[in-house]
A and B are shown apart, each in its own frame.
Chain A
């Protein structure tokens, strides 16, 4: 399959008056169309920085990022960030409104998504009338409304309690799969990464370099929750955990 995204020797330096910080150093990786990739690494290693680079909010200090797609990236954050003063429908159409694309066709697409993913009954409600899991689903549909080719998920479940997290994780995964989107998930939760991703990129401490890329060879048709019950699941956990722990040791 063709590459949709390629990082070519990408580095990024954060500048402040007293210092400069090399956040990521000569990063190389590529992501194929339709792939679900997780990026894991110790906290503060620049995972979120990578997402900002992909979305174009940050520009690399050196190196090249190639994106083979016309449509922009869609972001999904830790918190749902729904606007309390807007109804669910108005929240979902926010992006279209900003880009002046509130066409009948696009509205129909949103209605379609809402029906398909069970939020059609809530469209006239306000966010504070919905549960945390439901809000996160609305946030995903708000992102999908702009038809992005690449979804950037920045720890999208870490604000939810454990039970809800497993449900929403399944939920989001199914939606992404059925819409055939490319997704990049940033997380520090190794279980979450293994249960959702096709491939896991392990980063080192700052300045971030790719330490290892692990192909997850679990049945692609299983949901994240079902994957957690697979025999090989723990094997992958071991590999990744050791990789990260070794990093801690070496530096301390």
Chain B
């Protein structure tokens, strides 16, 4: 990124840049090396029988399983099902959480009335609502998305509200002295002021939406990665469990980086 300017730098600065670059290379190669070592030793120990690949599976067996599932086309149905549920849960919970947080910021009365309810709902382990969800929403995508939303929404409301409330009192006074009404106060000060924090909340939500989705699939599902994991577990097909977990890792990471990219975009506009 500094290719063009390198010519103008002093030798000391070039030396410094070289050191920084070397360090970066070292870290990257160690990271990749570690991954290769884990896979390599796993495979090696499975082959020579140090670990039982029936219980622990092995990289080659996982890949075979993935290829099998992919060739039957089944894999993509499962991936799509889970991805769809996760994204839907994420989007609905975030949007709903945002709206509720705005309402709570708006009205102190509402905030105080609902406070104990939110505290109780926040403390409740949402998985306990599983049976109710199945009865109310059936045993399909709907129930799973509702599970994801339940897990996400209270945290979303609480953290967004605290981001809104943390606005500098003097800045609010300034806006009021210039004649701002409440809506202007929100759109021109409180919201843009909280934007950085809101994106951090999205980052947390992206992780949680997978928790909710997989938990939902454990409870009720006919398809999806969570379903594959539970199914694989029941029939003692550990290759299937491990392969599904691996795909899940990749999907969740990809979605996380999507939000990180969004964050970078927002922060760039913020400066």
Contacts and interface: CB of A to CB of B under 8 A. Distances in A.
B73 interface: no
A83 interface: yes
Contact of B174 (A72, A75, A126, A128): A75
User: Looking at A72, A95, A98, which has the most chain B CB atoms within 10 Å of its CB?
Assistant: A98
B269 interface: yes
Contacts of A83: 171, 189, 192-193
Contacts of A32: none
Contact of B173 (A57, A95, A126, A128): A57
Interface stretch (B11-19, B26-34, B175-183, B233-241): B175-183
B264 interface: no
Contacts, number: 48
B24 interface: no
A94 B180 CA distance: 10
B271 interface: yes
User: Looking at A72, A73, A79, A94, which has the most chain B CB atoms within 10 Å of its CB?
Assistant: A94
Nearest to B266: A85
Given A94-B188, A97-B188, A85 B195 contact: yes
Interface string A44-57: 00000000100101
B175 A98 contact: yes
B173 A98 contact: no
B192 A85 contact: yes
Interface in A53-99: 55, 57, 72-75, 77-79, 81, 83-85, 94-95, 97-99
A79 B188 contact: no
User: Looking at B174, B269, B270, which has the most chain A CB atoms within 10 Å of its CB?
Assistant: B174
A146 B173 CA distance: 16
Interface residues of B, number: 20
B68 interface: no
Interface in B187-230: 188-189, 192-193, 195
B192 A72 contact: no
Contact of A99 (B178, B188, B195): B178
A73 B177 contact: yes
A22 B170 CA distance: 23
Contacts of B195: 85
Contacts of A128: 271
B60 interface: no
A57 B271 contact: no
Contact of B177 (A55, A84, A97, A126): A55
B271 A126 contact: yes
B74 interface: no
Nearest to A101: B179
Contact of A77 (B174, B176, B179, B192): B174
Contacts of A74: 177
Given A84-B270, A128-B271, A94 B192 contact: no
Contacts of B193: 83, 85
Contacts of B271: 84, 126, 128
Contacts of B174: 75, 77, 81
8 contacts: A75-B174, A75-B177, A81-B170, A81-B171, A98-B175, A98-B178, A99-B179, A126-B271
Given A72-B177, A83-B192, 19 more contacts: A52-B173, A55-B177, A57-B173, A73-B177, A74-B177, A77-B173, A78-B170, A79-B170, A83-B193, A84-B271, A85-B192, A85-B193, A85-B269, A95-B178, A97-B188, A98-B178, A98-B179, A98-B184, A146-B178
Interface of A: 52, 55, 57, 72-75, 77-79, 81, 83-85, 94-95, 97-99, 126, 128, 146
Interface of B: 168, 170-171, 173-180, 184, 188-189, 192-193, 195, 269-271
